[in-house]
Amino acid sequence: MTLADSVVLVTGGAGGLGEAVVREVAAAGAAVVIADLADEKAEKLAADLGVKAKYVRTDVTDEDSVRNAVAEAGKLGTFRYAVVAHGGFGVAEKVVGKDGSPASLQGFTKTIDLYLTGTYNVLRIAAAAIAGNEPDEDGQRGAIVATASIAAFEGQIGQIAYSAAKAGVVGMTIVAARDLGSLGVRVVTIAPGTMRTPIMESVGEQALAKFAANIPNPRRLGKPEEYGALARHILENAYLNGETIRLDGAQRFTPR
Task: Say whether the peptide bond before residue 198 is cis (omega within 30 degrees of 0).
Answer: no
| Terminal-residue alpha carbon distance, the chain | 41
227 or 197, which is more confident?
A: 227
Listed in order, strand segments (DSSP E) in 53-131 are 53-57, 78-84
| Average pLDDT value for residue range 241-252 | 97
3-state secondary structure of 178: helix
Segment among 32-46, 118-132, 183-197, 198-212 with least mean pLDDT: 198-212
| Average pLDDT value for residue range 148-158 | 96
| Average pLDDT value for residue range 205-218 | 87
**Confidence at residue 216, expressed as pLDDT on a 0 to 100 scale:** 95
Contact between 7 and 188 under an 8 Å Cβ cutoff? The reply is no
**Confidence at residue 231, expressed as pLDDT on a 0 to 100 scale:** 98
**Confidence at residue 210, expressed as pLDDT on a 0 to 100 scale:** 83
Mean pLDDT of the chain: 95
Q: At 42, give phi and psi (nearest 5°).
A: -70, -40
| pTM assigned to the model | 0.95
Contacts of 1 (CB under 8 A, 6+ apart): 80, 136, 140, 142, 143, 235, 236, 238
| 129 band by pLDDT with thresholds 50, 70 and 90 | very high
Judge whether residue 201 has pLDDT over 90.
Answer: no
Judge whether residue 211 has pLDDT over 90.
Answer: no
Residue pLDDT, tens place only, 17-72: 999 999 999 999 999 999 999 999 999 999 999 999 999 999 999 999 999 999 99
Number of neighbouring beta carbons within 10 Å of residue 157: 13
| Residues carrying an active site annotation | 162
How large a percentage of the chain has pLDDT more than 70?
100
